[in-house]
């Protein structure tokens, strides 16, 4: 018994971008005004090591960028003024990885005693980590 040729109907396969998680830390926190410090962002993914660039922000002001190498990028500066700075790292993503923006550390540039309070949550790929630095009372 012979059979004729046949073709299946098209199957629509959806492939989502890989997720990424970004965290940022400071080499010196708190620091003194004009003291050089380095911000390091770590970008991770459950599927592959992310590549590309990370933009370091002070609030809405871009400080500079760093290129990812083995999931890490860094930016050094000594130009932050006295006061609290909300440093964030923004991973722009690639064709494989979704964009990730994470609020990082509040780097304070005053000379006092400090208490550090952390708050971390990671519900999904838009997870965030915050670090609040406040003067130590009494």
CATH number (domain holding residue 26): 2.60.40.10
pTM over 0.75: no
Token digits of residue 67: 């290129």
Say which residue the tokens 């620091």 belong to: 31
Checking if the pLDDT of 97 tops 70, the result is no
Residue 92 Ramachandran class (φ > 0 left, ψ -120 to 50 alpha, else beta) = alpha
Token digits of residue 80: 């932050």
40 within 8 A of 72, measured Cβ to Cβ: yes
Does 108 map to a domain? yes
Number of domains in the chain: 1
The average pLDDT across 119-135 equals 41
Does 53 map to a domain? yes
19-49: per-residue pLDDT in tens?
A: 888 999 999 988 888 899 999 999 998 888 8
57-82: per-residue pLDDT in tens?
A: 999 999 999 999 999 999 999 999 89
109 within 8 A of 30, measured Cβ to Cβ: yes
Count CB neighbours of 19 within 10 A.
16
86 within 8 A of 60, measured Cβ to Cβ: no
Range of the domain at 79: 21-135
Token digits of residue 18: 């890989």
């Amino acid at each position: 018994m012979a059979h004729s040729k046949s073709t299946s109907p098209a199957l629509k396969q959806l492939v989502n971008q890989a997720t990424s998680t970004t965290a940022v830390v400071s080499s010196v926190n708190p620091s003194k005004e004009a003291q050089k410090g380095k911000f390091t962002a770590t970008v991770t993914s459950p599927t592959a090591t992310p590549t590309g660039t990370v933009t370091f922000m002070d609030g809405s002001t871009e400080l500079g960028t760093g290129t990812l190498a083995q999931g890490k990028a860094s930016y050094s500066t000594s130009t932050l003024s006295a006061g609290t700075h909300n440093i964030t790292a923004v991973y722009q993503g690639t064709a494989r990885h979704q964009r990730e923006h994470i609020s990082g550390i509040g780097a304070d540039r005053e000379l006092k005693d400090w208490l550090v309070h952390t708050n971390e949550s990671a519900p999904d790929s838009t997870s965030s980590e915050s670090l609040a630095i406040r003067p130590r009372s009494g």
